[in-house]
Amino acid sequence: MKYVDEYRDAATIKRLAAEIGERADPQRTYRIMEVCGGHTHAIFRFGLAQLLPKNIELIHGPGCPVCVLPMGRMDVGLAMAEEQDLIFTAFGDMMRVPGSTGSPLESKARGADIRMVYSPLDALKIAQQHPDRPVMFFAIGFETTAPSTAVTLMRARQANVENFYVFCNHILVNPAIRALLEMDDMRLDAFIGPGHVTTVIGCDAYRFVAEEFRRPIVVSGFEPVDILQSIAMILRQMNAGVAKVENQYSRAVPWEGNPAARAALDLVFETRAAFEWRGMGEIPDSAYALCDEFAAFDAEKQIGVHGQTLPDPVEAQCGDVLKGALKPCDCRLFGTSCTPENPVGALMVSSEGACAAQYKYADVTISIDR
């Protein structure tokens, strides 16, 4: 198949749904977590859960980097903008993420210089255009976006730009998967692996899931056929009593990932001893920090604003949703005081957040007979 319509073909979807129904043992339940927020969005958008047997439960994991960012990190970034008179730059999906004193857009309304960029290179260009002012890029994302930050820092060093800084919030997917598997109150039978991250880190990075924890993991694309085929592949493994890493998304994901991107990451970053994830607490070795060679660009070291930050609001049950313990619609604030227009938690802000996806597509139903 070559074109997107082929991955939304009703006949193929119907065939895969029937295969899943045949392979699912009615005497047991299956809890399958999709790690990537892009998969969560697609599952709600296309109503895929409605095509599955009742004993297959899709668990929405912590796969949206905006959503797992604790409120305190946003507080620190905005304090830099408001107290240090710097130019704060970030991707568009960060602009409405709430901190304890408001979002970047609200900070902008209070007079801070907040600018949306499409790339860290845009932020570097702003720094070069305003050499008399410090410019900070609020870096966020999994291994998917971290290489672009790394390359930008390499260019900043090469061009000897002295007023450009990065507030690094890049996180790593595998420590989070391990933390979930080690939770006493969490039962997960298999994983739909993240397609975008795997283009960088490669499929072998997930071998520990199969070998240590005996759970199947299938790296998947983002169309309905991709996701349903991945679930069918998982059931084949489970029925055969095996656990291995498979790559359903081979049309876009090389098994070995991207060695050049990983080399850039190794050059610029080091792993933090621990990093706080919303709802999951501190996870060891789960985030990047700038290494000593690039310390001159590290906003935390060169600008750092210190002080008390407030915890996430307890009334928003984002943490329980992020680790799969609660469905978005079961949060006490869902669709009432927490909506995309007035978000209380980050999961309602990002387009890949589970709450925003369910809110938008809750009534979507796919007919496999059309």
pLDDT band at 65 (very low <50, low <70, confident <90, very high): confident
pLDDT above 70 for 358: yes
pLDDT digit string (tens) for 303-317? 977 655 556 666 778
Paired with 34 in beta bridges are 60, 192
pLDDT above 90 for 117: yes
Per the prediction, the chain carries an average pLDDT of 91
Q: Which residue has the higher pLDDT, 93 or 269?
A: 269
CATH number at 69-170+278-302: 3.40.50.11740
| Overall average pLDDT of the 187-202 stretch | 96
φ and ψ at residue 161, rounded to 5 degrees:
-85, 120
Contact 64, 170 (CB under 8 A): no
φ and ψ at residue 166, rounded to 5 degrees:
-125, 125
Q: What angle do CA 352, 299, 155 make, to 5 degrees?
A: 85
Number of H helices, E strands in the chain: 15, 13
| Overall average pLDDT of the 109-130 stretch | 97
pLDDT above 50 for 369: no
Structure tokens, 168: 């690094």
pLDDT above 90 for 150: yes
pLDDT above 50 for 368: no
Structure tokens, 206: 């997930």
Residues with Cβ within 8 Å of 56's Cβ and at least 6 positions away in sequence, in order, are: 20, 24, 29, 30, 32, 231
Q: What percent of the chain has pLDDT over 90?
A: 71
pLDDT band at 364 (very low <50, low <70, confident <90, very high): very low
pLDDT digit string (tens) for 208-248? 999 999 999 999 999 999 999 999 999 999 999 999 999 99
Amino acid letter, residue 357: A
| Overall average pLDDT of the 68-86 stretch | 89
pLDDT above 70 for 365: no
Of 70-84, 110-124, 218-232, minimum mean pLDDT range: 70-84
Contact 43, 49 (CB under 8 A): yes
Question: What is the reported pLDDT for 353?
Answer: 80
